[in-house]
Structure 1
């Protein structure tokens, strides 16, 4: 059995009990809050497989447990719909978007979402769909790079990612907001429990005769969480850390993806321009506040502890 100098061994029973207890606790709590889903078993299997396979894979999954925490919190939002706690902003947000970013179309002032819906094209449908698919793989791929190359930057990036999400979740509950497609489909009437909608991304599915985005948005936590657009926050966090680490020409790719996701959010009627700006602001606030807090002893020591655990 593999041993580490000065430790109780990689497969010490405390490791086994901790991993299995966390897994069982997660499944039980999930059953109670959001009901059983096969996704939960897949997550538990991946976590335990990597945790017990080797020391290297255990360090990897422990490092990425920060992202797992985010995924779980996002999933659990289904149990606490934000529209139960504050009024959902529908017409006022639509009117504000039209007032600030309104575009003239056939003699009428419309929102950018309405403009692009009326002027969509197969080329833009495919392009924006591809950009929107990158909001998960690009941050995770960059995180993998940092994990193997720059452990401290990986921990910083991971914590900022979760911190920005937490800031966004607070706004979700303080300012529940309907997305543009909701107005296009249901008008200004509030309908609790409205299911997710692929909106303009349905044209991507139709072009390739698939149900990719339909499958993704059928699992959405809450349709009234359009502001801020955290999809717009994530690529900005990536760009900040790529520029900070001076990665050269690859920065052009990340900046292109960032702008592409911002445009896609509006083009597909999933977000207003105001939602995108709120997402950008949320990312900036999260990055700036983290840079301040990480200099303080508690967070500084936690970062050092995490780096030591995954080194």
Structure 2
């Protein structure tokens, strides 16, 4: 009798533990993102882009989403280490880390269902017992004859982390940093970002509003870092070891002259500041003057002389 009741007791204990976990976790938002999608864009862009599927589009979407996303931060860091100003890679790494932590925090406190959930379950309520889904990446597993993305997404610890999109944030951040170092290649980096955004919607992993929020998060973080901490790129330098000095922050905040190193102290005992100046003394181009216009030092130094001269001026 006791043995027969043991499985049932264990089953109830498991259900109670799952319910206890769900009690402290926030509710999963299923309707918010589809509603925002319709309000902002008038349609579900993800469903429109994923309506027509074929092998060529699957591979084109898989390259940025399933491959480039994971290797791009390392490639970007290596390229900027060689061709960027000294110190730019640590700034990129910190910015990348901060936006990742902020995005995951938002995903944990504001869990939202991705497009693949709507395709499978409609707008039915979701719970944390549900497994992740590879969506369009399942076709890549089938094409390659592997079980990589299917098993990987089923074991994902954050199933409802659609908002904001880290795929959009990371690609946008990489494009902004690379555009700073290589401004002439900016169209190429913008194309890569748009390619990533399209892939996330084609594979039914993100709504357009997820991408906009992720891109905005990366943009704000980039310009904050650029204004305060970013080493300035010197366009006449190709490699990092060509830099003789490094300036930090946005150059638009300073003056037109090189006052970055000025600390407000003036050394009156040194005349080094006159070297190379264009003053009339250093250039030997003093204006000719007559003795008639020279003032006696005594007249300037003695108050009594001023009073005396005033008497002569006003005496009859």
Which TM bucket (shorter chain)?
Answer: 0.5 to 0.7
Given the two structures, how large is their TM-score scaled by the length of structure 2?
0.59
CA distance in 2 between counterparts of 1:289 and 1:194 reads 38
CA distance 1:195–1:124, change in 2 (3 Å): same
CA distance in 2 between counterparts of 1:217 and 1:83 reads 24
**Alpha-carbon distance, 1:82 to partner:** 9.7
Given the two structures, how large is their TM-score scaled by the length of structure 1?
0.60
CA distance in 1 between counterparts of 2:137 and 2:94 reads 30
| Structure 2 residue corresponding to 1:191, chosen from 110, 127, 142 | 127
Correspondence for 2:203: 268
Structure 1 position 112 matched with structure 2 position 52:
no
CA distance 1:102–1:213, change in 2 (3 Å): farther
Structure whose residues are more often helix by fraction: 1
SS at match of 2:136: helix
**Alpha-carbon distance, 1:252 to partner:** 4.6
CA distance in 2 between counterparts of 1:252 and 1:83 reads 48
How many residues are paired up?
208
Correspondence for 1:96: 36
CA distance in 2 between counterparts of 1:186 and 1:276 reads 22
Q: Deviations over 1:249-270 (max 9, x none)?
A: 4x55433321111001111110
CA RMSD, Structure 1 to Structure 2 (Å): 2.5
- Which structure 2 segments of 5+ residues have no match? 1-20, 231-247, 249-316
What are the residue-to-residue correspondences of 1:151-170 with 2, within 5 Å?
Answer: 151-170=86-105
**Alpha-carbon distance, 1:220 to partner:** 2.2
CA distance 1:244–1:116, change in 2 (3 Å): closer
CA contact (8 A) 1:160 1:290 kept: yes
CA contact (8 A) 1:172 1:225 kept: yes
Q: Deviations over 1:107-162 (max 9, x none)?
A: xxxx2222233322221111001121211111211112334554401101101101
CA distance in 1 between counterparts of 2:152 and 2:192 reads 20
**Alpha-carbon distance, 1:234 to partner:** 0.7
